[in-house]
A and B are shown apart, each in its own frame.
Chain A
Amino acid sequence: MEQNFILIAYIVPVVVGLLLMTPTGASLFGNLLVSRNPLMVHARRRHMLGMNLVAITGFIVSVHTLWITNKISEGGNVCSSATVFSCDDVLGNAAYNTDPVFGLSWGLIGMVAFGAILFITNSVNKEPDALWAERYLKYGMYMTGAGLAVIALLVSYEIQMGKICQFCTMAHISNVVALFGFWKAGQMHDRGQWNDEAVVESESKE
């Protein structure tokens, strides 16, 4: 039960982050955000806030999965379950809990990946008009796109084991949402919705 509460604590920021990247987020959280920070009237700022939320959640989930892996190796039970949702069975399986090339724990790989995503989203958030910003967003899209192959491999492991690690799935979802965020940021660039001024002008014309 406790594990379900922790899982909800991860689901909420990812869902909020995803909504902030969509027009639904503007209608749901727009007024609240603008009342606290008037600059949040711009879609790009809400978008980057959403991306940062998703990236930090992915990072924390990765730390959590590495923590569970370590605890299981000590001989403890963290989230063992007789049902299909049993992260102990997945993260504790020595045949699958490390990458096949370097033998690194998947949690540590997740930490590095989401750390890099967090670096991109934070940097671009601070300097959205920098010359490198658009290029960095593309790097982020390529990286999270490559993450889909890793997710496919890990899901294939789960199918072989007949068990699902709910926290790992949360990290996978964060990666997919981040991929959407990077793609959407590219679209905003292409449509001229990236600059604050452009958005203000278009809004004032409406």
Chain B
Amino acid sequence: MINLLRSEFFKLRTVRLNIWLPVGAVVALVVITGLVGLLSSDPQDFTNADLMGMIGAFSILVSMMIGVATSLGITSEFGHNTIRPTLAATPNRTMVFAAKAIVSVLFGLVVGAVAVTSSYIVGSVLLNGRDADVGLSGDDGSLASFFGVIVLAGLLALFGYGLGLLLRNAPAAVSIIILWPLLIEGILSGVLSVAGVEDPQKFLPYTSAFALVIPDPNDGPGGRISGGIFFGLVTLALVVGGMVVNNRRDV
């Protein structure tokens, strides 16, 4: 399994898109945080939660980009037919797909950690240099939000991989990653509301996961932990479904 993990990680880092996509997303988050730190009219009013709330909100886009990268990683295997030499080199498909899943999650966690750490440092240095007093605290949820960004990045990386594995089609997988929270869950929320379901957002997995990055978990539909677990289970189901289907399919 170690050989397989090394091989899959090597594959991931030897395709330029997998480098530039997350780098671009991280840089965008750092730049946005930096601009807020520089241009905020009342920096002294900025709290820990404000900074992490802002980083957390924009980090969702970073996580989506990570999901896009991991979905393209697996769909390109099918698109370029490199899945055939992959499975010829390692015939145990469950091992192959599990290794890819592990590498995807690690990739998401690392990029998420780099994104949140770098943007937090830039934001706090700039704001504190302008008489603000921001830091990370366990009391106001900013510390939890900090780690939530990393977890969401890992989950969305796995989500993208699972969708790609199930669909084996890059445009479809990427569209769903982007449109799911904006369109699919929007429609679903409306339908549930019309059906008389109280607080329908807590039944929407993607939206529930956003609670991970919100400093005040009460702002989220289902709370930080439950929202993360809900989305994690949906993601896991996608991956397991993709593995089961691909264990049977011809490649």
User: Are A and B a genuine interacting pair, yes or no?
Assistant: no
Instruction: State the B residues within 8 Å of A (CB).
Output: none
